[in-house]
Structure 1
Amino acid sequence: MSPSSSAARRSPRSGTFAAVDLGASSGRVVTGHAERGTLRLREVHRFPNRPVRTGGTLHWDVLALYQGVLDGLRAAGRVDSVGLDSWAVDYGLLDADGALLGNPVHYRDARTEGMADRVARSVPPAELYAHTGLQYLPFNTLYQLVAARGSAQLAAARQVLLIPDLLSYWLTGVRGTELTNASTTQLLDPRTRSFSTAVAEAAGVDLSLFAPLREPGDPAGELLPGVREETGLEGPVPVTAVGSHDTASAVAAVPATGDRFAYIATGTWSLAGLELASPVLSEESRTANFTNELGVDGTVRYLRNIMGLWLLQECLRTWEAEGRPQELSALLRAAASCAPLRSVLDAADPRFLPPGGMPERIADACRASGQPVPEGPAQTARCVLDSLALAHRLAVEDAQRLADREVETVHVVGGGVHNELLCQLTADACGLPVVAGPAEAAAVGNLVVQARAHGVIPGDLGLVRALLCDSLPLRTYQPGDGHGSPEEWARAAREIREHR
Structure 2
Amino acid sequence: MQKNYLAIDIGASSGRHIVGWMENGVLRTEEVYRFPNSVQRVNGHLKWDIDSLFANVKNGIREAFAKYPAIESLSIDTWAVDYVLLKNDQPIYPVYTYRDSRTQAVIPEVHSILPFEQLYQRTGIQFQPFNSIYQLYADKKAGRLAEAEDFLMIPEYLLWKLCGVKAREYTNATSTGLVNAQTGEYDPEILQALGLPETMFPKLTAPGTVLGSLMPNIAAEVGGQTKVVLCATHDTASAVEGIPMEQGDAPFLSSGTWSLLGVKLAKPITSPESRRANFTNEGGVGYIRYLKNIMGLWIIQCVQKQLGISFAEMVELAKTSTYTRIFDVNEARFSAPQDMHAEIRAALTETGEAPATDADLINSIYHSLAYCYGEAYREMEAVTGQHWDKLYIAGGGAKNATLNELTAHYTGKQVVALPIEATAIGNLKIQMNIQ
Q: When the two structures are superposed, what TM-score results if normalisation uses the length of structure 2? A: 0.96
Q: Which runs of 4+ in 1 moved over 6 A?
A: none
Any gaps of 5 or more consecutive residues in structure 2? none
Alpha-carbon distance between aligned partners in 2 of 1:210 and 1:228, rounded to the nearest angstrom = 29
The CA deviation string for residues 81-107 of structure 1, in whole angstroms up to 9 with x for no partner, is 001100000000111x21112241011
Give SS of 1:434's match.
Answer: strand
Alignment map for 1:48-447 (pairs within 5 Å): 48-77=36-65, 78-95=70-87, 97-233=88-224, 235=225, 237-296=226-285, 298-319=286-307, 325-339=308-322, 342-370=324-352, 372-447=353-428
Is 2:17–2:31's contact at 8 Å kept on the other side of the alignment? yes
Tell me how far apart the structure 1 counterparts of residues 34 and 412 of structure 2 sit (CA, whole Å): 36
Distance 1:336 1:433 in 2: 22
Q: Structure 1 length as normaliser, TM-score?
A: 0.84
Partner Cα distance (1:161, 1:60) in 2: 14
C-alpha displacement of 1:211:
4.8
Contact 2:9/2:17 (8 A) holds in 1: yes
Distance 1:228 1:403, change over 3 A: same
Deviations 1:6-50 (A, max 9, x none): xxxx5xxx5211001010011110010124421001000000102
1:296-329 deviation digits (Å, cap 9, x = unpaired): 1x2111111001011111112233xxxxx22321
Distance 2:261 2:316 in 1: 25
Residue 29 of structure 1 aligns with an amino acid whose one-letter code is H
Greater Cα offset, 220-229 or 254-263: 254-263
Judge conservation of contact 1:90–1:163 (CA < 8 Å) in 2. Answer: yes
Q: Tell me by how many angstroms 1:337 deviates.
A: 2.9
Q: Report the secondary structure of 1:149's partner residue.
A: helix
Q: Are the equivalent residues in 2 in contact too, given 1:115–1:138 (CA < 8 A)?
A: no
Query: How far apart in 2 are the matches of 1:60 and 1:22?
Result: 12
One-letter amino acid of the counterpart of residue 90, structure 2 = A
Give distance in 2, aligned partners of 1:116 and 1:383: 32
Query: CA separation in 2, counterparts of 1:228 and 1:103?
Result: 28
Change (3 A) 1:382 1:188: same
- Evaluate the alpha carbon distance shift between residue 212 and residue 429 of structure 1 in structure 2; reply closer, same or farther with a 3 A threshold: same
Which secondary structure state, in structure 2, belongs to the residue aligned with residue 390 of structure 1? helix
> Please, which of 3, 11, 29 is the counterpart of residue 41 of structure 1?
29
How many Å separate the matches in 2 of 1:356 and 1:211? Answer: 39
Q: Which structure 1 segments of 5+ residues have no match?
A: 1-9, 320-324, 455-500
Q: How many residues align?
A: 431
Contact 1:175 1:211 in 2 (8 A): no
Contact 2:186 2:202 in 1 (8 A): no
Give how far 1:210 is off: 2.9
CA contact 2:81–2:172 (8 Å) conserved in 1 = yes
- For residue 19 of structure 2, what is the aligned residue in structure 1? 31
Q: Give, in whole Å, the separation in 2 of the partners of 1:166 and 1:290.
A: 28
Give the distance between the partners of 2:272 and 2:258, measured in 1 at CA. Answer: 25
Tell me the percent identity.
Answer: 37
Higher mean C-alpha deviation, range 256-265 or range 381-390: 256-265
The 8 Å contact of residues 318 and 356 in structure 1, kept in 2 or not, is answered as: no
Deviation at 1:152, TM superposition (A): 4.3
Residue type of the alignment partner of 1:239: V
